[in-house]
C-alpha cells in the first residue's frame, strides 16, 4: 500500500501484526502504547466501552509521539456472564478460564481506533463464540502445546483452539484481535485508501 504517511500499529501483538497485511497494510511500524489499562478500565461501565476506551488510549499515546503518522490502536477482551477474561497470569488461571468457557457461548469484543491528522475514530465489534465441552485432559494438552498466557480468555482461534470452537457468529478477525472490516471502514472514513 502506498501512503503519504507511515502507519504505526500501537500494539506488540503478533496476531495484529499478522493481520494488517491481509488488508494491504504491509509497510508499518510497531510501537507499544505504554498505558495504564487497569486505571483506564476502572470507570468503564461495560466491556464494549472498556475495549473502545483502551483502543483509543493506545492510539492517543502513540499519536502524541508521532502526530504525522496514521496510528492504529486496538484492544480485545473475552467476556462471559458479563465478566472480562483477560490474559491468564499462569497455568491455573488459564485452566480456570478454559473450564469456564467449556460448553458455553461467550463474546469476544475488539475495539479499534485510527488516528490521522488530529482526528480519532473508534468502533467496536462483537463476535459470539460457542465452545464444545472440554475435558481436563484436553485443556492441559492445549496449554502444554500452545501456552495461552498472552491471549485474552486463554485461547487463540487461529491455533489448536480451533478444535474447541463449534461455531462463531460474527467477524472471525475480531476473535483474533483486530476487526478488519471495522478497521477498513475507519480508514475509509478518514480518506485513507486501502484499495
Ranges under pLDDT 70 in the chain: 1-5
Q: What pLDDT score does 1 carry?
A: 42
Cβ burial 138-166 (10 Å sphere, 16+ → b, else e): bbeebbeeeebeebbbbbbbeeebeebee
User: Catalytic residue at 75?
Assistant: yes
Catalytic residue among 43, 75, 140, 144: 75
Q: What pLDDT score does 5 carry?
A: 65
CA distances from 96 to 18, 64, 127, 145 (A): 28, 39, 22, 17
> CA-CA distance, 115 to 42, in Å (whole number)?
24
pLDDT tens figures, 70-114 = 999 999 999 998 888 989 999 999 999 999 999 999 999 999 999
Assessment of whether the complete model's pTM goes beyond 0.85:
yes
Beta bridge partners of 105: 130
Q: What pLDDT score does 44 carry?
A: 85
CA distances from 171 to 27, 34, 91, 108, 118 (A): 24, 28, 28, 10, 29
CATH ID of 7-189, from 3.90.950.10, 3.40.190.10, 3.40.50.2000, 1.10.760.10: 3.90.950.10
Q: What pLDDT score does 103 carry?
A: 98
> CA-CA distance, 63 to 115, in Å (whole number)?
7
Q: Which H helix or E strand runs over 66?
A: none
Amino acid at each position: 500500500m502506498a501512503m503519504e504517511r507511515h502507519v504505526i500499529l500501537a500494539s506488540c501483538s503478533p496476531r495484529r501484526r499478522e493481520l494488517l497485511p491481509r488488508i494491504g497494510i504491509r509497510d508499518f511500524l510497531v510501537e507499544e502504547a505504554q498505558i495504564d489499562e487497569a486505571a483506564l478500565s476502572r470507570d468503564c461501565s461495560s466491556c464494549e466501552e472498556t475495549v473502545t476506551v483502551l483502543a483509543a488510549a493506545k492510539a492517543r499515546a502513540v499519536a502524541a509521539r508521532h502526530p504525522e503518522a496514521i496510528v492504529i490502536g486496538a484492544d480485545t477482551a473475552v467476556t462471559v456472564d458479563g465478566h472480562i477474561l483477560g490474559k491468564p497470569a499462569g497455568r491455573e488461571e488459564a485452566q480456570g478460564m478454559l473450564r469456564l468457557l467449556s460448553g458455553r457461548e461467550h463474546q469476544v469484543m475488539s475495539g479499534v481506533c485510527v488516528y490521522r491528522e488530529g482526528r480519532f475514530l473508534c468502533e467496536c465489534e462483537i463476535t459470539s463464540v460457542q465452545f464444545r465441552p472440554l475435558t481436563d485432559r484436553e485443556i492441559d494438552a492445549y496449554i502444554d502445546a500452545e501456552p495461552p498466557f498472552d491471549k485474552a480468555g486463554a485461547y487463540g482461534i487461529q491455533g489448536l483452539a480451533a478444535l474447541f470452537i463449534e461455531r462463531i457468529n460474527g467477524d472471525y478477525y475480531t476473535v483474533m484481535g483486530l476487526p478488519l472490516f471495522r478497521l477498513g471502514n475507519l480508514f475509509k472514513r478518514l480518506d485513507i485508501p486501502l484499495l
